[in-house]
Each structure stands twice: as C-alpha cells, then as structure tokens.
Amino acid sequence: MKNKADNPLYTLTNTLYFVAFLCGLIVLYWGHFLIVDNHTNDLRLKASESVVIYQDDLNDELTRFSFLPYVVARDEHLIKWSFNEPNKANLALENIVKASGTTNLYILDNKGTTLASSNWRSDVSFVGKNYAFRPYFLDAMSGNNGYFFGIGTTSKLPGFFISSPVRNGENIIAVAVTKLNLSALEKSWKDSGEIIFVTNEDGVVVLSSESEWKYHTLSPLSQLQKEKIMKQKQFAGLKLDLLTGEPQKNINNIDIDGIPFLYETLSIDSANWKIHYLLPKTNINQLTIITWAKIGSIALGLIAFLLLLRLMQSRWRLKISRQESEDLRKLNEQLTIEIAQRHETEKKLLVAQKDIKRTSKLAAMGQLSASIVHELGQPLSAMKNYIASAQLPPKEDETSAGNEKSILPKLDALVIRMSQISKQLKFFVRSNEKELQVFDIRESLDRALELLSSDLKIDGIRLIIDCEEKPFFIRAGKVRMEQVFINLINNARFALQESKNKQINISIDTSDNNSHEFNLLTNNLELEEPIKQVLIVKIEDTGKGMSEDTLEALFDPFYTTKPSGVSLGLGLTISSNIIHEFNGTLTAKNNTDQGACFVITLPLET
C-alpha cells in the first residue's frame, strides 16, 4: 500500500494550499499596510484642514481689537485728559472697554509710566506703573505698532498686548495699549476636544488647549533668548522646561509625555507665532481596528448569507408544491366568501338607499318648519312688543286713540313683512331672479335696526355705525337682506351677554375686486361682466370670540352655540345661502383684540 506522501497529486494539493496560505498572508499584510496608510493620510488631511480653520480664528481674535490703540492714540481730548485730567481719561477708557469687549486699555507717557487705565478702580490698577521694559512700548516709541505676549507684572495674568504711538506733530508723546485675554479661546479649544498649542518666536508655548503644556518650549532656549525673556519680564520668571523631553527632528511627528502625535503647523503672521494642531497616533490604530472589524463583519455576514440562501433554496423547493396547492384551496375559499359578502353588501346598499331617501325627506321637512319658526319669530316678537305698548296707559299729552293710531301702522307693516317672509320660503326650492332689485343696502340695515332697537337698549348694547353719507347700491332682495342683518346682529347680541363692554360696530365700505381677502364668485354665469368693485359690510362685537371648531362648523345647518330652545342653528345657514344667491360671500373670523367679526361681501352696483 502506497503512502499518501508518495502520491504526486497529494503533494501538489498540499503545495497549492501552502502557496494559497502564503498569498493570503501577503494580501492581509498589504491590506493592513494600505489601511494604515489610508487612515494616516486621512488624519493628516484632517489636521491640515483643521489647522487652517484655527489659524483663521486665532488671527481674527488677535486683530479684532487692533484698531483700539490706533483710535485712542488719535483722540486728542482723551490724550489731553490723560496728561491733565486723568480721572476723565480713566472713565473714558473704562467705558470704551465695556463697549468694545477688550480686557484692558491704558495710556503710557513717553517714559513708560501709565497715565490712565480702564482698570483704575481695580486693586491691580495699571495707573502709575512703569512698563518701559516691555517690547510693545519700545516698538511704539520707535514709531511702529507693537505686538507682544506676556504675563502681566501687575495683574499676574497672561495677555496679548497691542500698542500704537501717540504723536504730537513729529514727536511721540505717549503710547496707547490694549491687552487681550485669550483664555476664552483656549477654553473653546479644550471644550471642542481638540489638541492645539501656539508657540511664539522663541518656541515657547504661550497658548494651549492643555494647560500643563503652557510655558514650555519645543527646543532648548539659547542664552541670548533667556536673557531677552528675563529683561522683558515676559513669563514672570517661570522655568520654561522642554515640552518633549528632547528636541524633535521629524516635523510631522512629535512625542509628548510618551504619546506620539501627528501634527501640522502654520504661521500666525499678525504676531510672529506658530499654531500647532495635534492628532494622537492611537487614532490610527483605533480606526484600523474598526476597519478590520467592519471587513470581518462583512465577510462573516456574506458567508452567513450564502449559507442561509442555500438552506432557503432547498427548503423552498421542498415546500413550493405544497404551497401552490394550499394557495389554490385558500383562493377558492376566499372567492366563495367574497361572493357571499358582495351579495350581502348589495342588499344593505338597497336598504341604505331607501333610508337615505326617507331621511332626506324628513330633513327637508324639518328644515322648512324650522325656517318658518325662525323667520316669523322675530316679527311676532315685535308685534307682541307693539301690542304691549298699546296696552300701556297713554301719556299725559297723548290720547289712547292717538297711541293706537301710531302703533297700528307698525303692526300693519309687520303683517305685510310676515307675508313677504312666507313668500321667501320658496328660496329653498329655487332662486327667483325676478325678485332681485337695485337698492341702497342702508335701507335694509335701517329697517333691521328699527326692529332691534328696543332689544339693544334693554341689553345695554352701544351701537356704532361707520359709513359715508352716500348710497351703496346692490342688486339683492330687500327683505332677505334685512333678514341677514337681523340674524347677524342677534348673534352679536348673544355673544355680548357676558361681556362688560357691550358694543356692536357696523361698517360699510367699498373696495376694488383685486384683494385675496374678498373672493367673490366673479365667474358666475348670471353676471354679464366681471365684478370691478365690491361692497364690504362688517358686523363686529366685543364678546369673547369663537373657537377654531366653531369657526369651521359655523355655517353648517343646525349647528349652534346657544342653549337648547334658544336657537335651531339655521340662522347663519340661511343667511349664507341668501348672500350666495346675491353673488356674494359671508365669512366669519375673530378680531385681533377681542370679539368676532362677520364680513358680507357683495357686488357693488355702479
């Protein structure tokens, strides 16, 4: 019996497996290398983009108040006060600081002594202190603007100083200086989770999101640099140790406290500084692990999907024949049920159609009866009032016959009016165009107010009418227009029952028919030509107004907000139908201050 090792095919197979394994390792190695390189480049790109943003922010912060010393240096009154009336100068500088938002603002004489300062009230006031040793003073005395960062010798607080010379002709007599506190900028870096620091021209860290890194250096200071810093009293005698422990040679990498960082650097020209943006290299490892985890998850998911697909295919083939027969059986059963349901639905539909016809007839009869009661109720009430008035004893200067004689014409007019109202009931069957006539709408309003005047007085309601003394002609029915006014005014009366300020405002005005607020039915075929002008009647009350639900259902038949027995809820429905027959609109809304407003819009006859 031959050994497997002597079998050439077995040997070849093992060799192929080994080669495939080596190729797999090589692919994994190069894949890992490409992933690491890709994430490194991404982080470097992010650092490059971010450092530009923070460079702009820092430049903006440093130059935001650079104009202040220049402006102060050219304020002759402020400079004179600094020499002659320092209290006035102190107050002026204090107000400028409050208005501008800078930290401190002060003026030095040509010897470096502070004449006036915005912090003159503070225990660490600059007034009287000498800063002739500061570079910003020396720069300004040489005729240039000065820029300097240092820890205050008086306040012990770090800041960025900007100075400007004060000239009197060709002579420099003083120096104006502002000090900026940049701690808020450092805090914003810290809060955003960024690692940023800024170095000055000597390589000293002057700003940093990591407070423990401040006042360290990136490289050892020369003796000359140390002497200059001591002479300027720039860092209050701090030791200025090396931040990295040893000088860094690779400009794109830096180790701080044993942590490697990628970093990008840009210059801050306004202060001769450099801003450094750092990203921990551990981010690369984390991103690489996440990427491999995603790749592994995808690979495992793909394998699981293929296995599941294979399993589903085998099960599907097993069940498909059974499923088809089962579906056919269910389809037959469902068809039988649907046929039976359809027959039942058709029977219910026939019954419902009969019920609808019967209900419609009853609703029409109910609406007709309610309309008669609603429309005749007001004249009957007026007749009752007149009869009651006739039964009262006559006044001293009036006979009983005279009193009756004055009331009988009114009663006769009401009888005629009731007859006319009964004729209007045919409105609910069809519209009679022959009844429309051109008349002044004020006639209908006056007649309605005449009938309601006693009720308005009893209720203590003040009536205000706002319209020009001229006719406003419309084409409508007088009596029906009067009914609309009575309905709307009575609604206003009801709305004022619980109001302390009882007032009804009625206004009549005209407008061109080009406003979105008044949408007339100008496309009505009954109109010979488009409507050019409209009449607008507003009836407003000072009640509580209406809710959104009430406004939506206001013109629906039998909808009412009045108590049971007071109203059937047909008044506004009838009024709206009447106005629509006159080719107009009736709308309702709430006033902006209080109360409700009904707006009648009708075509104006010219």
Q: What is the pLDDT of residues 500-554, one digit of tens each?
A: 888 899 999 988 876 544 444 444 444 556 778 899 999 999 888 888 877 777 7
Question: From CA 115, how far away is CA 176, in angstroms rounded?
Answer: 10
Return d(Cα 45, Cα 49) in angstroms, integer: 6
Query: What confidence category does residue 398 fall into, taking pLDDT thresholds of 50, 70 and 90?
Result: low
More confident residue, 399 or 506: 506
pLDDT > 90 in the chain, percent = 19
Q: What is the DSSP letter of 530?
A: -
Name the more confident of 515 and 372.
Answer: 372
Instruction: Judge whether residue 146 has pLDDT over 70.
Output: yes
For residue 277, give the nearest of 43, 40, 42 by alpha carbon.
Answer: 43
3-state SS track over 99-126: HHCCCEEEEEECCCEEEEECCCCCCCCC
Tokens (6 digits) for 556: 């629906």
Question: What pLDDT shows up at residue 375?
Answer: 61
Give one DSSP letter per residue of 443-473, joined into a string. HHHHHHHHHHHHHHHHTT-EEEEE--SS--E
519 vs 511: CA distance, rounded Å = 12
* DSSP 8-class letter at 604: P
User: Domains along the chain?
Assistant: 67-180 (3.30.450.20), 431-603 (3.30.565.10)
Please check the confidence at residue 7 and state whether its pLDDT lies above 90. Answer: no
Task: Identify the CA nearest to 555 among candidates 568, 574, 538.
Answer: 574
Higher pLDDT, 412 or 122: 122
* pLDDT of amino acid 131: 92
Summarize the confidence of residues 168-184 as an average pLDDT: 91
CB 103 within 8 A of CB 128: no
Question: DSSP for 238-261?
Answer: ----BSSSS----TTEEEETTEEE
Instruction: Supply the pLDDT for residue 600.
Output: 92
Alpha helices in 392-503 (DSSP H): 400-423, 441-458, 478-495
Indicate if the pLDDT at residue 565 is higher than 50: no
Q: What is the mean pLDDT of residues 152-180?
A: 91
User: Which carries the bigger pLDDT value, residue 45 or residue 275?
Assistant: 275
| pLDDT of 34 higher than 50 | yes
Q: Report yes or no: 240 and 166 within 8 Å, Cβ to Cβ.
A: no
User: pLDDT-derived band of residue 456, with 50, 70 and 90 as boundaries?
Assistant: confident
Output the pTM of the full model.
Answer: 0.46
pLDDT at 250 over 70: no
Mean pLDDT of 461-490: 89
Angle, CA 276 vertex, CA 250 and CA 222 arms, to 5°? 65
The pLDDT value given to residue 248:
58
158 pLDDT exceeds 80? yes
Is residue 141 within 8 Å of 175, Cβ to Cβ?
Answer: yes
Q: Is 202 left (phi over 0), alpha (psi -120 to 50) or beta?
A: alpha
Q: Say what the pLDDT of residue 424 is.
A: 46
Burial classification of residue 606, based on how many CB atoms lie within 10 Å of its CB (0-12 exposed, 13-18 middle, 19 or more buried): exposed
Contact in structure between 602 and 584 (CB atoms under 8 Å):
yes
The segment with the largest mean pLDDT, out of 120-124, 361-365, 380-384, is: 120-124
Question: CA 453, 389, 496: angle at the middle one, nearest 5?
Answer: 30
More confident residue, 373 or 181: 181
**What does the alpha-carbon distance between residue 584 and residue 605 come to, in Å, rounded to a whole number?**
13
Residue 190 has a CB neighbour count (10 Å cut-off) of 15
CB 213 within 8 A of CB 256: yes
Question: What's the number of CA atoms in the CB half-sphere (13 Å) around residue 186?
Answer: 18
What is the end-to-end Cα distance of the chain in Å, rounded? 125
Q: What is the mean pLDDT of the chain?
A: 80
- In the predicted structure, residue 174 carries a pLDDT above the cut 90: yes
Nearest to 502 by CA among 595, 407, 605: 595
Q: Determine the length of the chain.
A: 606
pLDDT digits (tens, 9 = 90+) for 41-96: 777 778 778 888 888 888 888 888 888 999 999 999 999 999 999 999 999 999 99
Name the token pair of 379.
């004249």
Average pLDDT over residues 384-406: 67
Among 58, 67, 78, which Cα is nearest to 100's?
67
Higher pLDDT, 269 or 507: 507
Query: What's the burial of 484, exposed, middle or buried (CB within 10 Å: 0-12/13-18/19+)?
Result: buried
Distance between alpha carbon 358 and the CA centroid of its chain, in Å?
Answer: 53
